[in-house]
Each structure stands twice: as structure tokens, then as C-alpha cells.
Amino acid sequence: MFSLKNKLVAYGAAASVVFGIASYKLLEKDGPTRDQKNEVLTQVLIRGLSSAHYSPERLDDNFSQKAFDLYLERLDNNKKFLLQSDVDKLMAYRTRLDDQIQSGSFEFFDLSMQLFKKRVQEAESYYKEILDKPFSFDKEETIEVKSEKLKYATSQAALKEEWRKYLKYQALIRVADAVDSQEKADTTGATQPKKTFTQIEADARKKLRENYDELFKRMGQFESEDWRSTYLNSFANIYDPHTEYFAPKEKEDFDFEFSGRLEGIGAVLTEKDGVIKVSEITPGSPSYMQGELKPGDAILMVAQGDKEPVDVQGMRLDKAVSLIRGKKGTEVRLHVKKVDGTMKIISIIRDVVVREEGYAKSLLIKGQKPIGYIHLPAFYADFKNAGGRNSGKDVAAEVAKLKQENAQGIILDLRNNGGGSLQDVVDMVGLFIKSGPVVQVKSANGPAAVLEDRDAQVQFGGPLVVLVNENSASASEILAAAIQDYKRGIIVGSSTYGKGTVQQFFDLDQVLPASFDAVKPLGHLKLTTQKYYRVSGKTVQLRGVTPDVVLPDTYTYLKYGEKEQTYALPFDEIQPAKFTAWNNPSFPMQKVVASAKNRVKESPTFSLINQSALRLQERVENTTRSLKLSTYLAQEKKNQEEAKKLETARKNIPQLEVATLKNDVSKLAADTAASARFEAFTRNAKKDLYIREAVAILRDGL
């Protein structure tokens, strides 16, 4: 068959014909101009998208309007720069971008940059003037914080007023934090000198001024080319949210960081609409060990130790990365906004990410009938080393060790596991079934390929629970879906992320002949090329995997997952694969599931978690914030009291009695650092409410 890479190469050759002999000579003789390079880049990019994407888009006026809206949203997400009159000028191009991208014209982009840079210069005078005067926090006024509800200002005076409220809100947060800290210091008898409210307010404005001075200095150094990827991805992301263009430097960063994994603290970050958020914590990393930084946290400012923090809101991800990254042993302080809206400063000492902690590991949960617990943070595989570690083999080894310890049931924890190697999923499911299909993978054309376990041996035939949550994605969802379809085990937790697509990287330089070396490097295109399906024929795309036993958590009522991504590919179904469901009459699965649902319903702690999730939903959906200090402080105090109730309830839960596997004791004794990390892992598992419920489910049926 004609491979995807060959399709891209063929279209690249076709692209070269478009430019003709004259273009070849021009490039060879004088070197490429900016316009020529952009023309080559856009034509190769569009041809790659049109020829190799799983679901190609029609390049018409409708496509143009989508790209226009997406670009404008990303250019000025908070509507603090462009005026409505600027948008009106740009609107003339709303149905013409499809023609411009195909011809290689950057006329619209250049105009947008011209208007945007002009407004940035004007906004610089706004914040300086506003922050020169004290804020009064006695007046009852509000601010809208959801960008989608904001409108472009119709005049410079109206825009300046929006800046006033925006800066006042940021100052209010700082003032409230300082007031709260002083009140807590009073109750603890601290001797630190107490500041007056006037001093606190002045400090807040001073720090804001310094942050915005730095922000506008950086913005003044931006070239139009810095925004080019944003513009091009406004087209790529119409195809689906995981298809995107990477400029050469961005691809280097991607490779270096392993999909955004930050050297120094070990967090996977994403940037959307000017907000930098944590999407994943690397197991064993400084962030993981410190324990306070969580997926969903928004990073607002970054400080090097006790130095003044730098505002990273609106900053490009690679720029923010450069501030967070640092040498081993140095301190970074992240000013974050938690998912419940509270603000927190998190201090992390940078270190080398410990890869060992990213591997599968297990514990034995003691009892008359001991239960095995396996934590799998990712489906990893070392593709470059034939003898390298992979998750399939490692989990098989953990299962073997647990059998030696007479484990009567096994809990496989896939919470916060973002996926990885597909083959390892097949191998892993094969540990628990006799043989049969595990997942179906389908390209745009042709029948689905069925990946199956061909080994009739069952390494573990006892009761199985798979723990999942909203951050369980891709490969994790394949495994959970296969176990559920085979009725091999019980899926416990919350609905998974819902990503049922497969991506592949293509080097755009490889699709052009040597004649175009002058315009290289062009960068890379990450394309969605396949979708995967359950053995039942359904995809997990958008819907994820719904657990058999649903446990409430922080994200229960939030809009989260693939279904919330703009232009995500749809849910669909194909023919089911032929498979035989597991039959274990000695384990009453239906009775166990019914019992678990009743236990969760009657649990005071799960009830508190559910109430907390409902309050969080209410706070997220209420997008207006008061700018009156007393009102803001009262709400923050209420939030803290509610959070404390849940924290107290969790502390009062009896801890599980766990043991290190005999096979691991000698290995850990020989490595002090590894032993300390394993102790932290054990400590967390003991007090984990969700693991405790999984244990109860298994013991109900044993």
C-alpha cells in the first residue's frame, strides 16, 4: 500500500511543480525572501493536511470563517488590545483565508500584525497610568472573567476602562492574599512587622507594574514570525485539535521535553487562549514528589527563588518553559490558580526527573485475602533500544511477583495515565485473557486492522479492578475498554478523557527536493492519521470509557476532556470484532457492582467530595467576580472552610495496611534514594480513598 509518508512526498513533489523552473532559479540565485518561504511552507502544509489527514477538510468559505475566528480568538483572547473597528477591518478577509493559504499569501496575517502591534503600544500607556493611582476596593462592582463572554471595546476610552477593571482584579487578588496572610500570622503569634492596608495596596500595584513592564518589554521584542505558528495552526486545528504545525525550534523543544515534559520540575504543560495549564505530572519528578502542583492548575507567574515573579499569562509556551526550566538544586516558585479558583504559591526544587518512578510498581494490600496493587503511570516503551524497558513486560513481571505473594485479586491503577505504546496495551490485556482481539485501528480508507493477543496463556485469572479518571487517555482507554468489553474486570473511577485518535509526525523538509534547500528548515506537521475502536465496534472518541462503578471526584461536573476541544473528530462505530467474553461464575460481578454503588452512595466522604465538585462547578460557571475586597475575602474564606472539611474527612479515613513485595525489599535496601521515593509512593497509596474502594470491591466478591 501507498504509505502516508509516500503520499506526503508525492504531494511535496507536486508542490514543487507549482513554483516552476523560475522559482527554482530564483531560490538558487538570490536566496528566498520571506514571502517565498511562506509560500512554500503554506502550500506544502495544506497539501499534507489535505492528502494525509484522517478526515480532510474542504478548503472553502466555511473553512475560512472557522480559521478566521480561531486565529482572532488566539491573537487577543482577553480582548484587551484590538478595538471593534480593527476587527471590522479584518472581517473583510473572513471568507478569503482559504484562498490566501492556498496561494501562500500572508496579506491578512500582515494586516492583523500591523493592527495588533499598534494597539499593544497604546495599551502600554493604559496600564502605566492606571497603576499610578491607588485602587479603592469599597465599591461594589464586578468583572467578567470568561473570555468568550467579553466583547471588543468600541473606543479607546472603553478599552482603557476594561484595563482598569482587569488590573484592579489582579491587584485585588494580591491584596486579599496579603491581608489573609497577616490575619493568619496574628493567630500564630508571628512577630513579622504588620503592614498597613495602604502599604499592602501600594505593594500590589508596584509588583503589578513591574510584571507588566516586563510583559510589554517582551511583547515589544516579538516579531511577526513569532506569531506565524499561531496563524498556521488556526488552519491545522480546524482538522482536529491534535493536528498542528511545529516550527523547527518548536519541534526541537517538543522532542527535548517529551511532549512538553519540563526539565527541572517534571510537568507536562499546555497553552490555550493565553493560559498555561498543567496537564500531567511526571511520576517521580520534583513536582510529583512535592505533591502540590496538580493537573488543571493554571500557572500565572514564575519566580526564581525569592526574586520578583514574572507574569506568564499570554506568554508563549516556549517562553514560559525557559523560565520554569533550570539547573538541578535551584528553586522555582509557581504562582498558580487551582481548579477551585484559589491561589497558591508552590515552591519546587528543580532536579533531574527520575525515570525509574515512571515505571510500573506494585504493593501488596494486607488482609485475610491479600490484594495486589499495580500503579502504571504511562504506557512506556524504549523504541530505540531493542532491550529497553516497556510497560507490557514490566506489568507482566509485577503480576508474577504478586502471584508469588498469593494476591487473590489485582488493582491496576491507570489514573492520570495519558497513554503511550499501543503494542504494550495488547500485551497487557493478554495477561488477563486467554486470547483474542484487543483494539481495532482504522485509517481513513480501507477496513480496520485488528490487533490481538495470540497467547492463549492467562497469567492472572483472578478478580481484576481497573482504576481510571478524567486524565486517563488514549492507550489507557483502550485497555479499560477491552477489559470492560470482555467482562474481564470492573472499571472503577470517573469517565475517561475520550481521545480515540492516533497521530504521526512528518518532517516537511523531506517532501521537497534539494532545489528547495534554501527555504529549509520548514518544520514538522503532526497529523491525525487513524482512529481506534473497541472490540465492540465503538470508538472512545468524545465519550471515553464509562466506569462500571462511578466514584465522584473534583472534575465530576466540569466540562472536561476531548469533547470540550474545538473541532474534535466525532464519535462513530464500526463492525465489532469477534471475541468471547470472560466467564467466571465464582466472582459475582453484578452483585459486587451493585454493592459498591450502594456503598459509595452512603459514604459520608464521597458525599463531601460530590458536594465539593458541585460547588466547584458553580464557581466555574459563575464567571463574574466581585471587585469589592470584603465580598472577595468572604468568598475566599468560605472556599477555604469547605476545602478544609474535605481535607479533614480524608485524614480521618482509616489507612490501608500495605507491604512491599519481598522481591523488591533487597533492591530498595541497596538504593537509599529509590527507597525514599518508594516510601512516598507507599504513603500515598495507604490513604488513597479510591484505592480503598477498589479493595472493598474485590473483597466483596472473594
Measured CA to CA, the distance from residue 85 to residue 153 in angstroms comes to 9
Q: What confidence category does residue 497 fall into, taking pLDDT thresholds of 50, 70 and 90?
A: very high
| Pair 361, 375: CB distance under 8 Å | yes
Distance (Å, rounded) from C-alpha 436 to C-alpha 21?
Answer: 56
14-45 pLDDT, tens digit each: 444 333 333 434 444 455 777 888 888 998 99
Task: Specify the pLDDT at position 385.
Answer: 61
**Beta bridge partner(s), residue 436:** 453
Can you give the three-state secondary structure of 652-699, one letter per residue? CCCCCCEECCHHHHHHHHCCHHHHHHHHHHHHHHHCCHHHHHHHHHHH
Question: For the residues 193-199, what does the mean pLDDT come to?
Answer: 90
Q: Is pLDDT at 6 greater than 60 in this prediction?
A: no
Secondary structure string (H, E, C) spanning 297-366: CEEEEEEECCCCCEECCCCCHHHHHHHHCCCCCCEEEEEEECCCCCEEEEEEECECCCHHHHCCEEEEEC
Which DSSP letter does residue 225 get? G
How crowded is the C-beta side of 238, counted as CA atoms within 13 Å?
Answer: 25
Cell of 79: 480582548
pLDDT at residue 434 is higher than 50: yes
Mean pLDDT of 369-386: 84
**H/E stretch holding 405:** none
- Report helix, strand or coil for 381: strand
Residue 619: count other Cβ atoms within 10 Å of its Cβ: 16
For residue 2, what pLDDT is reported? 33
Separation between Cα atoms, residue 87 and residue 71, nearest integer Å: 12
pTM for this model (two decimals):
0.81
Q: SS3 string of 236-266? A: HHHHCCCCEEECHHHHHHHHHHCCCECCECC
> Rounded to the nearest 5 degrees, what angle is found at the Cα of 637, between the Cα atoms of 635 and 641?
115
CA dihedral of 607, 608, 612, 617, whole degrees rounded to 10: 10
SS3 assignment, position 51: helix
- Per the omega criterion (within 30 degrees of 0), is the bond before 521 cis? yes
Least confident of 325-334, 352-361, 395-404, 448-457: 352-361
Which residue segments constitute the domains of the chain, with CATH numbers given? Answer: 56-239 (no CATH), 262-349 (2.30.42.10), 355-499+539-586+655-701 (3.90.226.10)
- How far apart are the C-alpha atoms of 188 and 636, rounded to whole Å? 20
Phi and psi at residue 256, in whole multiples of 5°? -65, -35
Cα–Cα distance list, 694 to 595, 596, 655, 689, 700 (Å): 12, 9, 14, 9, 10
User: Of 269, 216, 271, 255, which Cα lies nearest the Cα of 77?
Assistant: 271
Residue-wise pLDDT tens digits, 83-119? 999 999 999 999 999 999 998 899 999 999 999 999 9
What secondary structure letter does DSSP report for 533? E
Cα 131 to its chain centre, rounded Å, is: 34
- Pick from 78, 195, 204, 199: nearest CA to 131: 204
Q: Is the pLDDT of residue 575 over 90?
A: yes
Residue 457: how many CB atoms within 10 A of its CB? 9
The pLDDT of residue 13 is 44
Which one-letter amino acid corresponds to residue 511? V
Express each pLDDT in 208-220 by its tens digit.
998 898 888 878 7
Average pLDDT, the chain: 87
* Residue 485 bears catalytic tag: yes
Instruction: Scan for cell 493478554, then name that residue.
Output: 430
pLDDT value, residue 573: 96
Percentage of the chain surpassing pLDDT 70?
89
SS3 536: coil
The Cα 654–Cα 9 span in angstroms is 61
Mean pLDDT of 292-306: 90
What are the grid coordinates assigned to 43, written together?
A: 502550500
The whole-angstrom separation of Cα 343 and Cα 38 is: 42
Partners of 348 in the β-ladder = 332
Cα 73 to Cα 85: distance, rounded to the nearest angstrom? 16
**CA-to-CA distance for 377 and 360, rounded, in angstroms?**
7
φ, ψ for residue 503 (rounded to 5)? -115, 160
Decide: helix, strand or coil at residue 520. Answer: coil
CB atoms within 10 A of CB 525: 25
Compute the distance between CA of residue 475 and CA of residue 324 in angstroms, rounded to an integer.
Answer: 29
3-state secondary structure of 545: coil
Q: Estimate the crossing angle of helix 34-52 against helix 228-239, to 10 degrees.
A: 20
Q: Which amino acid is at 584?
A: N
Q: Is the pLDDT of residue 189 over 80?
A: no
pLDDT at 296: 86
When mean pLDDT is compared across 261-270, 471-480, 587-596, the lowest value belongs to: 261-270
C-alpha cell at 295: 493537573
For residues 312 and 322, give the distance between their C-alpha atoms in angstroms, rounded to a whole number: 11
**Helix, strand or coil for residue 316?**
coil
Rounded mean pLDDT, 518-527: 89
Q: Which residue would you say has higher pLDDT here, 269 or 479?
A: 479
Q: Nearest Cα to 120, choosing from 71, 91, 86? A: 86
Task: Return the half-sphere exposure (C-beta side, CA atoms, 13 A cut-off) of residue 58.
Answer: 3
**Rounded Cα distance, 53 and 243, in Å:** 9
Place of cell 509526525: 505
What's the burial of 81, exposed, middle or buried (CB within 10 Å: 0-12/13-18/19+)? buried
C-alpha cell at 674: 529509590
At 608-629, the pLDDT tens digits run: 999 989 988 998 899 999 999 9
Would you state the pLDDT for residue 250?
62
* Cβ–Cβ < 8 Å for 165, 141: yes
Torsion of the alpha carbons at 216, 221, 223 and 224, rounded to the nearest 10: 10
What was the pLDDT predicted at 354? 52
Residue type, 215: L
Q: At residue 572, what is the residue type?
A: D
The one catalytic residue in 401, 499, 520, 538 is 499
* Residue 413 confidence (pLDDT) above 80: yes
pLDDT for residue 647 is more than 50: yes
Strand-pairing partners, residue 616, are: none
The CB-side HSE value for 293 (13 A sphere, CA atoms) comes to 31
Could you tell me which residue, 238 or 288, shows the higher pLDDT? 238
pLDDT of 646 over the 50 cut: yes
Cα 160 to Cα 589: distance, rounded to the nearest angstrom: 63
Lowest mean pLDDT among 249-253, 314-318, 319-323, 411-415: 249-253
Average pLDDT of span 271-280: 78
Q: What is the pLDDT of residue 9?
A: 47
Q: Which of 191-200, 291-300, 622-631 has the lowest mean pLDDT?
A: 191-200
Q: Please report the pLDDT score of residue 180 as a whole number.
A: 85
How do strand 501-507 and strand 524-533 relate by DSSP bridges?
Answer: antiparallel
Please tell me the predicted confidence (pLDDT) of residue 383.
62
Among 112, 474, 494, 603, the active-site one is 474
pLDDT of residue 436: 96
Three-class SS state of 527: strand
